[in-house]
Every structure is written in structure tokens, then in C-alpha cells.
Amino acid sequence: MALPMQVLLLFLQRTFIYKNGSTTDLTLAQDNLRALAVTMANTVTLRNITLVLERLGLPPPTEQMLVPDRMRTQVPSQLGKDTDEDKLIRTVTYYRKEYERLLAWFDPDETAWIRSALSEPFASPATAKVLGDLPVEVISQILGYLDIASIFRFRQVNRQARGVVSKFPLYRAILKYGMNTILFVLKTGTARWFTLEGVRTAISAETCFLCDRFAGFLFVLRLKRICFECLEKDNYHDLRQAPCEAVNPDPRVCFRTVPGVYGKPYPLNYAGRGRYISLDLHPSYYCSDRCNHDIISDNYRYMAAIAQPVVNFTNGPVPRVWAGVSCIGYQIAYETPGARRMTALNGKVSIDQVRDRGYSRNGYMEHFKWCSFAQRLWQDSQGGTVPVQVPDWDAP
């Protein structure tokens, strides 16, 4: 059972003071205190480990510490100045597309007509001139204050309103680079909570609002970035199941789910034998109580998240889009015999956790310095010039 954060901090501080005699020596043994904090952080999430170190005035775990011992090089690899980073990333990384199917997801083919309808005005010009008397700057400022639901309602007033909204620069940019996010908030009924500027801020952010690591997903209840580890394993939940008798439902606040299949597929471990078949109750009745996971509860959080690439609007006339990458070296290590024994941070972080991490471009280049599996793959490819065989995987 995980210790409460306050109890854990108090224990760490008292233990250190007892061993060292005074609090003034606290800064003299940061490495020992870091190891103690990691050892005691039984919550097994990088976020909680980072919080412990932060509360103690210590820096978060470095990339060197997060690489499992059996995969970590003793000294960081130094790339030559002529190394093609784009080719390196294409060779030793991959995009975990299956994550999209675990969360809310929209088929591009099925939503193509919706995208066209939301982004383009009618072909015939508007005849009404009510809005024509206002300067474009004033109209843009007014639209910036409206929530997303109000903007779409205003767009349906007449042809001129549709044309004004469709030509709004921020509106066009959001639809081009964050269409799935717009569809998500519209279908879930949360569009009235957020503005276009809020969506722009969210899709241009790069780090998780819980652990400050790269995040390729949006958590719609807060419209903030979240990484897969915090979404899947963190103890922080914004969406919980509660009995109706225990709450007073507010009809003004409603979150509608998008139809789909969410979460990882868990097997049903049927604990009995064929003898249940002869009973009056269907065997599924007994099987339902013998699942390893509370499948429905575990998947609530997946319903509130969607994959969204990071869009850097400050990159110039054409924003830079980055969906994040994962390390092929971790995947190869995960599929090798004995991989389950690979751990980092004194055994508190498993290969499963580090395998699920996504990286920004700079973040992966820092990771590559310490990952022996990725370095070996890069060497086998002879600098990205020779194709290398990598495992064929689809399931997360």
C-alpha cells in the first residue's frame, strides 16, 4: 500500500536527520537522499517520485536514471556533428499508433464531410450586411471571447455569420491542426467550457500537466496535456464513478462519451471448469466476478482523452507538428527473454512504464545518449543507410 505523501516526506526527512545529525547536512548527500526517496516511493509512478524529490528540494530523475540498468551505457554517447538527427529518429523510433485506438478516436474517412462543413463558407455570397459595418478586428475580438459552442451556434445564424467565422484566422488554424479536438469537445458536450484560444494553448503545449514530461494526448475535462502513464496509472482521477444517491447532479454540467472501444484488452480469467455449465445461472455470471481488472472503471479515463499532436505556432508561417515518438530499443528489450526483470530507479520503475513513454525531439536525443539498445540499432543500420529488422507489433 502506498504511503501518503506527507508521511513519506516526514519519514525521509527524519531518517536523514537521524543518520546525519543535523538538517544543515541535507545538501551534502543529495544522491543518498534521492536513492532513499526513490526506494520509499511505492506508488511506482514517475510523477510521485518526482514530487517527492521536488518537495525535498532535489531535481527530478534524469534520463540517465530512467533507463533500465541492463540497457544503460556507462557514459553518454556523443554523436558526431555530421549526424543526421532526422534520419536517426526515423531509424530508431516509431509512433505508437495503437494509442489512438485506446482513447476517443475519429475515423478520418467518416468525418471528412464534417471537416469540410465546419471549415468552409457557402459558395454563394451573403446578402445581409448587418455584420459588414463592424471592422474585422472587432469581430475577431468578439469571437475570441466566445466559447466554442457559442461560436458554432453563431456560425449557423446566416450566410454572413458563417463566412465571418470561417475566415477567422484562429478558427481556421484550430480546425486545420486540431480538428479532432474540436470534434471531441463538441460530441462530449464540453465545448461550452472552452474557447478557441484555450484550445490553441492546449495543442501548442508539450508537457504533461501532472509530471512535466512530453505528452501526446489531451485530457478534455481540463483541456490540458497528459502523458499516457499519468492517464493510465496515476492516482489522480478527475472522472470517477459515484452512486446517484451520493451526489446532487447538476443538469448544466454533462459529459457525454463518444461511442467506441476504450482501453487495453484484458483477458477474462475464468476460474472454474465445465461444471458451471449445468447450473441455472449462465457461466458469464461467475466469470464477471473473476476478472483481473475492473474493466469499466479502468476505462473511464480513456473516454476523456484524445491523441493530439503538438503544434508549434511560433515556428513561422507554417506551424511545426510533432506527434511524439517512442523508442524501438525499449520495444526490443521488452520482447526479449527476462525483460520483466529490467528496472530503473532502484527497481521502482519497470520496463513497462519506460516503454510507454513518448518523447519530444530533444527529449529523445537526450534519451539516445544512454540507451544501449537504440545505439546498437543505429550502428546496425550504418547511420540509417541499411534497413534493420525490428519486431512487428500492433498491441500496446
Dihedral, CA atoms, 124, 107, 227, 97, nearest 10 degrees? -130
The model's pTM is 0.69
- Please state, rounded to an integer, the average pLDDT across all residues of the chain: 71
- pLDDT recorded at residue 55: 66
Query: Cα(235)–Cα(47) distance, rounded to whole angstroms?
Result: 10
Query: Cα(207)–Cα(61) distance, rounded to whole angstroms?
Result: 16
- pLDDT recorded at residue 23: 45
Read off the pLDDT band of 358 (50, 70, 90). confident
- Mean pLDDT over residues 377-387, rounded? 84
- pLDDT recorded at residue 63: 66
Which distant-in-sequence residues (6+ apart) come within 8 Å of 180 by Cβ? 106, 306, 307, 308
Between 85-89, 175-179, 297-301, the lowest mean confidence (pLDDT) is in: 297-301
- Mean pLDDT over residues 109-123, rounded? 78
- pLDDT recorded at residue 203: 94
- Mean pLDDT over residues 267-290, rounded? 40
pLDDT in tens, 308-320: 999 998 877 788 8
First and final C-alpha spacing in the chain: 27
Dihedral, CA atoms, 100, 93, 322, 356, nearest 10 degrees? 50
pLDDT at 115 over 50: yes
Domain ranges, ordered by start, for the chain: 5-61, 264-298
- Mean pLDDT over residues 365-372, rounded? 85
Read off the pLDDT band of 289 (50, 70, 90). very low
364 vs 119, residue with greater confidence:
364
Share of the chain above pLDDT 70, in %: 55
Query: Cα(354)–Cα(145) distance, rounded to whole angstroms?
Result: 41
Query: What are all long-range contacts of 258-261, with beta carbons under 8 Å and residues at least 24 apart?
Result: 258/104, 258/184, 258/187, 258/188, 258/303, 260/104, 260/105, 261/101
334 vs 176, residue with greater confidence:
176
pLDDT at 206 over 50: yes
- pLDDT recorded at residue 122: 74
- pLDDT recorded at residue 201: 94
- pLDDT recorded at residue 273: 36
Between 251-260, 340-349, 386-395, the lowest mean confidence (pLDDT) is in: 340-349
388 vs 254, residue with greater confidence:
388
Between 11-15, 61-65, 149-153, the lowest mean confidence (pLDDT) is in: 11-15
pLDDT at 202 over 90: yes
Distances (CA, A) of 329 to 78, 222, 336, 345: 18, 33, 11, 18
HEC string for the chain: CCCCHHHHHHHHHHHHHHHHCCHHHHHHHHHHHHHHHHHHCCCCCHHHHHHHHHHCCCCCCCHHHHCCHHHECCCCCCCCCCCCHHHHHHHHEECCCHHHHHCECCCCCCCHHHHHHHHCCCCCCCCCCCHHHCCHHHHHHHHHHCEHHHHHHHHCCCHHHHHHHHCCHHHHHHHHHCHHHHHHHHHHCCHHHCEHHHHHHHHHCCECCCCCCECCEEECCCCEEECHHHHHHCCCCCCCCCCHHHCCCCCCCCCCCCCCCCCCCCCCCCCCCHHHHHCCCCHHHHHHCCCCCCHHHHCCHHHHEEECCEEEHHHCCCCEEECCEEEHHHHHHHCCCCHHHCEECCCCEEHHHHHCCCECHHHHHHHHCCEHHHHHHHHHCCCCCCCCCCCCCCCC
